[in-house]
Amino acid sequence: MSDAAAARRRPGLTVGWFAGAVVAVVLAVVAGLAFGPASLPPLAVAAELLDLLPGVTIDSGLTERQAAIVTQLRLPRVVLALLVGGMLALAGGCYQGVFRNPLADPHLLGVAAGAGLAVTAVIALRPGTGVLTGLPVTVPLAAFVGAIGAVGLTYLLGAAGGRDRSTATLILAGVAVSAFLAAGQTYLLQRNVDTIREVYSWLLGRLATDGWHEVRLILPYAVITAVVVLAHRRELDVLSVGDEEAASLGLHPQRSRYLLLGAASLGTAAAVSVSGLIGFIGLIVPHLVRLVAGSSYRIILPLSMLLGGAFLTVTDVVARTVAAPAEIPIGVVTAFFGAPFFVLVLRTTRRAVVL
């Protein structure tokens, strides 16, 4: 019996997974609002959060200054972390389904590098335009062009061997594309030394924001990505049986694949444009979801989106507190988690990898 069929026969278990994911998101939000250089009581923070709901009035006991820290400083950052983490995890799960490859990830496929090169080019051509203080609308659009170009190039290189396409071939193609795009990025930085500090800070990944600007910027792209990918998540289950079988079931494999790749690349580009290069979330979260909830993308994708946001929110708390008052780039923290996890996944899939 397939995981999808099993899920249909166990609706209570599926509801339990989603309820657990929602609880994880709520706990991550409270932690993100409560902990930082100035830590606050989590229960009081939760009460302050409930007080923001329409028709709800609760005295949280926080001072006016503490309430301002929660609602004006940390809440936009937490919402941004939920959106970025959710988009990266959703995109990672989608890439794994499209390529039928458990190692597919926005970074390993070169998608993030393509978006990064495009954003670097925009910054270099417009010195003084801060990625965190004045994002123009052209930045996420440029990132999308770079992302879709990179994943297309990786796919073409990975498919160069014809139908005999292995896990290793695709990943090596992604590594080659990432290296090439990183070289282009380095060249641009060397030609525009005035922007090196700004771009370098962005490259390491960060969620610093002084308001809701970045949230408003990424929100439309996140909504489009989530709607398109989740609406077509059942097609990934059909694609998993092979193109010929999928076609016999009435699906147009290439059309579905291009649509899902475009949506996943749009979400990745939007996340990269506001947060920089934050790696491994698209690898870690879908894999953990697959371990506990089975291999049906009908379940994997929405759970990955929820838990990806929760994971990045908690990671951001670690980045803000472990070396306080200094702040560690969040991309460094995710790399500490992600690199060992990648090795573990590579070992568990070694039978399918041809090196």
- Give me the sign of the Cα torsion angle 231, 233, 237, 242: positive
- State how far Cα 29 lies from the chain centre: 17
d(CA 16, CA 207): 31
pLDDT at res. 45: 92
119 contacts 139 by C-beta, under 8 angstroms: yes
- pTM value is 0.84
d(CA 318, CA 166): 37
pLDDT at res. 75: 94
Output the CA torsion 121→122→126→127 (10° steps): -60
Question: Which ranges of 192-212 would DSSP assign to H, the alpha helix?
Answer: 196-203
Residue appearing with tokens 């444009």: 273
pLDDT at res. 195: 66
147 contacts 81 by C-beta, under 8 angstroms: no
pLDDT in tens, the chain (355 residues): 454 555 555 666 778 888 999 999 999 999 999 998 888 999 999 998 888 888 888 888 889 899 999 988 899 999 999 999 999 999 999 988 888 877 777 877 888 888 888 888 877 776 554 444 455 556 777 888 888 888 888 888 877 655 555 556 777 788 888 888 888 888 887 777 666 666 776 777 777 777 888 898 889 999 999 999 999 988 988 888 877 888 887 888 888 888 998 899 889 888 888 888 888 888 889 988 988 888 889 999 999 999 999 999 999 999 888 887 788 888 888 888 877 877 777 677 655 544 3
Question: Which ranges of the chain would DSSP assign to H, the alpha helix?
Answer: 3-9, 11-34, 42-51, 64-68, 75-99, 111-125, 138-158, 167-191, 196-203, 213-231, 233-239, 243-248, 253-275, 281-293, 297-321, 330-348
| Two structure tokens written together for 27 | 């706990």
Q: Of the candidates 279, 281, 283, 277, which has an alpha carbon nearest to the alpha carbon of residue 343?
A: 283
d(CA 198, CA 84): 20
177 contacts 113 by C-beta, under 8 angstroms: yes
Q: Of the candidates 122, 83, 134, which has an alpha carbon nearest to the alpha carbon of residue 308?
A: 83
* Other CB atoms within 10 A of residue 182 CB: 15
| Two structure tokens written together for 53 | 């709901």
| Two structure tokens written together for 13 | 């278990």
Residue appearing with tokens 């400083």: 73
Q: CA end-to-end span of the chain, whole Å?
A: 33
